[in-house]
Chain A
Amino acid sequence: MKRTTILIAFLAFVLIGCAPILSQSNPPLVVDTGVDPESWALIPAGEFFAGQFNHTQTIDHDYEMMVTLVTNTQFAEYLNASLADGTLKVDGEFIVGYHPGEEFHAYEHEMEIPAGDYPHVPLADDSLRIDQSDGIFSARAGYENHPVVMVSWFGANAYCDYYGWRLPTELEWEKAARGTDGRPFPWGEEFNNAHVNAYFSRDPFEWTLGKAGDTTPVGFYNGQIYEGYQTVDSPSPYGLYDMAGNVWQWTLDDHPDQHYRYMRGGSKAEYEFMLRVWMRNSSGPEYMSPNAGFRCVR
């Protein structure tokens, strides 16, 4: 009897783990962070400390970067416009767009990316918080000011390109995140949960998906109190929000002999060490993730 009880308790415990996730049936907390997703910040040309070991690097041009990640609202507007003018098209379960391909050297483990249409976002994936009704895309209720996710590098690159902008290079991204003083996080050296949406950071959006949490609205960590949850104002030295945590951010560089695309900044599903400004994630450019978004530079 005792053994049976233990066995049943063990099986029940395991089955609890198979319970469905909650996000789809629970709308998120709606907050206005007051940070404008249409705003840009100037990052001046000059030297800065790059990487874990603070090597001096120089960026020889001024550039502006979006203060926030591209939101679901912004991306829905883009989809509507670009589908209407034929820049993008629907192909099966994806919205796709043309990419001219990349030079292939047959290096060991090099990805081959020939010219052709590549997926930008999935249409049938619930993790994309953009819905379609009568051929019109709009941000899902409650997720309007959350960063868009489930966008491939092709999709992110095409978005920036569509408006005459581009994705930031890795160096541009890093300088924008840490400024010129070699800090490990956009806000400084110290880390705590009130700075950032990270794994098990106990923010008000975490209950929807468990420890990996949900995205937070762009600019959420700005010192405001949201229903009793106190955040710390955590912009980068240039005033950019969410340069650590929330979602990984695609960067522009195509690394020869490889063609993986690199992401920076960590995400809501990452521990502290992956949120340091020099840490990188990478994948093929077709990768679409609930933990990856982007912002543009001009």
Chain B
Amino acid sequence: MQGVKERFNYLFSSTRGLSMVAIGLIALVSAVWGTLSGPLAELGVKEFMIDLLGMNILQAEREGRMITLYHSIAMTVVAILVYFITGIISMKEHERVKINATVTVGYLMVMFFGLAFGYFGHNWIYHGLFISGQALVFWAGVLLAAALWPWRKEYYISDTAYARTRSGLDLERTAFFVVAVAMLGSAFFGAIAGMYYGNGFETFLAETTIREPHKTILQKSIIGHLHIMLALLTTGVSLVIGRWLDFKGIWQKMAMPLYIVGSVILTFGAWSVMVVEWAHTTIYIGSTFILLGALFLVISSFGVLIRAGLEKRGLKKAGLFTRLAALVDDPLKFGSLWQMIFMNFTVSGVGIFMAVKLDEMIRVWPYRDERILLAGHWHILATLTATVMLFYYADLMGLQGRARKIFGWAVIIFSDLAFGSVTIFGMKRLFVDEASQQPTVDTLMVLADLALVIVLLALAAFLIWLLVDFFSKNGRWKKDVNLSSSQEVKA
């Protein structure tokens, strides 16, 4: 009984345990719901799964179902980010406990009742609990923002290696705070439109409206909401990575103001989509600030990784190839930075290309091609961000040695292969016409699917390793049971 209690405490109070539950649930949902589309649906697994689970699937409700699915996964990812932040940023223990408890209950309600409502019949109690769960996640965000309040004197810093004001205000903490507040405000933009569902506003996927010349203000609100939430979540993850890699020095001092100002401008730009024509210009400016901040993080951390790798080899100076080998010595740390670079090829680059060539090229293509490119582009951003979070989590769980290398490289190589293939698939109209595209499509899809299978197998192996440890009497989990989250992360 004591063992059960200790394990329960580990799962629902430690950063590692809480994250493990959330990641495990996302993996489970992805495994089951992934059968409803893509290659498994083509092979007929979809019908089998619908029958097996007794899902209630109506054609007209597809978009609504997908929105509950997106929220179920997104809220869980937000919860994981919250766990990471409460584990890595100084705050009072009672604040940490309250925030983690609230966000956990919130995301579990969103996931279970959202999926129940969307896929297993319209019980309106489910819908109410789905909404209540989102309200709890929002409230956890309010508590987090309060805990991150950077103007508390006890969190002022004196170490001049880190970005700070003259009075000692910690600019990294300020950046976390700004991102948290911006996410809270941005959540409202979805919630306000959501309030009108069934009362003059109808479910839609943003990609459905791309060619509508006159969008309603509520449609614009939703479009702004989903873009800014994903962008801020990604910004928050890059801040966590900076903390993990002990980002400091001149690059950090330049990056933190960029993160802060960029997040404010980007958020303002996304909100203003509803009312002004020039919102995109503001968004570009804000994005540029944040991308520059992330670039500085990558430049600085690459230097740190190279120095660490050389030190491991007993070298102080080395040639190009030795330095490169040192850089990639730890695939988890290197991977978290590399994925940020790769994101520019598959997300930022594609987005800029689409914006520049919109009238000349993209709008000459049929809508379906534009839709595929857009949908692929943001799925890739979301999933690449998830891989970065996984790298951090694998390190947090103490993945070492050969397993660390295999897991790290499998995720880097095969996720990039998959997302590169999907990007080329989305851009295929540039080099192949509709009549002769099928061999290209088949090759790209097989590459993407196989690569994703390998990534998922790596994740499954990692989760099985965690489960084996969890059921061991004296596994790693035991060490965390009596530690506070911050002690645990440091440990």
Interface residues of A (CB under 8 A from B): 13-14, 16-21, 52-54, 107-111, 125-127, 184-185, 189, 191, 200, 209-212, 255, 257-258, 260, 263, 269-271, 273-274, 276, 280-284, 287, 289-291
Contacts and interface: CB of A to CB of B under 8 A. Distances in A.
9 smallest beta-carbon distances between A and B, as pairs:
A17-B443, A184-B59, A210-B438, A127-B435, A283-B366, A282-B367, A257-B213, A290-B435, A258-B213
Contacts of B438: 21, 209-212
B60 A291 contact: no
Contact of A291 (B358, B365, B434): B434
Contact of A276 (B59, B436, B437, B440): B59
Interface in B438-477: 438-444, 446-447
A210 B62 CA distance: 27
Given A52-B63, A109-B363, A287-B366, A21 B214 contact: no
Contacts of A280: 367
Nearest to B62: A273
B441 to A, nearest CB: 8
B365 A289 contact: no
A211 B211 CA distance: 28
B367 A281 contact: yes
Contacts of B60: 52-54, 184, 276
A126 B435 contact: yes
Interface string B344-363: 00000000000000110001
B58 interface: yes
B211 A17 contact: no
Interface string B392-405: 00000000000000
Interface string B98-127: 000000000000000000000000000000
Contacts of B42: 200, 211
B5 interface: no
Nearest to B38: A271
Contacts of B246: none
Given A276-B60, A280-B367, 11 more contacts: A13-B443, A17-B443, A18-B439, A21-B436, A52-B60, A54-B60, A109-B213, A109-B358, A127-B434, A282-B211, A290-B435
Nearest to B437: A212
A258 B442 contact: no
Contact of A18 (B211, B435, B443, B446): B443
Contacts of A290: 434-435
A280 B209 CA distance: 11
Contacts of A263: 366
B355 to A, nearest CB: 12
Contacts of A127: 434-435
A109 B59 contact: no
B213 A284 contact: no
A14 B450 CA distance: 13
Contacts of B367: 260, 280-283
Contact of B442 (A17, A257, A271, A287): A17
A209 B439 CA distance: 9
Contacts of A258: 211, 213
B368 A109 contact: no
Given A189-B58, A257-B213, A273-B62, A17 B439 contact: yes
B364 interface: yes
A11 to B, nearest CB: 12
Nearest to A183: B59
A189 B59 contact: yes
Interface string B165-185: 000000000000000000000
B39 to A, nearest CB: 9
A209 B60 CA distance: 30
A274 B359 CA distance: 24
Contacts of A125: 435
Contacts of B436: 21
Nearest to A209: B438
Nearest to A150: B435
Contact of A107 (B213, B443, B444, B446): B213
Contacts of A283: 364-367
A129 B289 CA distance: 53
A21 B366 contact: no
B442 A211 contact: yes
Contacts of B366: 263, 281-283, 287, 289
Contacts of A209: 438
B434 A185 contact: no
A210 B441 CA distance: 10
B440 A17 contact: yes
A282 B370 CA distance: 10
Nearest to B450: A13
Contacts of A289: 366, 434
Given A109-B213, A210-B438, A273-B62, A284 B443 contact: no
B202 interface: yes
Contacts of B439: 16-21, 210
A287 to B, nearest CB: 6
A58 to B, nearest CB: 20
A18 B431 CA distance: 13
A284 B363 contact: yes
B63 A281 contact: no
A17 B437 CA distance: 10
A216 B128 CA distance: 47
A257 B214 contact: yes
A270 B211 CA distance: 19
Contact of A52 (B202, B358, B440, B444): B202
B67 to A, nearest CB: 13
A127 B435 CA distance: 7
A126 to B, nearest CB: 7
Nearest to B211: A282
A110 B438 CA distance: 31
A53 B202 contact: yes
A289 B434 CA distance: 7
A127 B438 CA distance: 14
16 contacts: A21-B435, A21-B438, A52-B63, A109-B363, A110-B213, A126-B435, A127-B434, A185-B59, A189-B59, A209-B438, A210-B438, A270-B368, A273-B62, A276-B60, A282-B367, A290-B434
Nearest to B439: A17
B202 A14 contact: no
Interface string B19-39: 000000000000000000100
Contacts of B58: 189
A274 B435 contact: no
Contacts of A109: 213, 358-359, 363
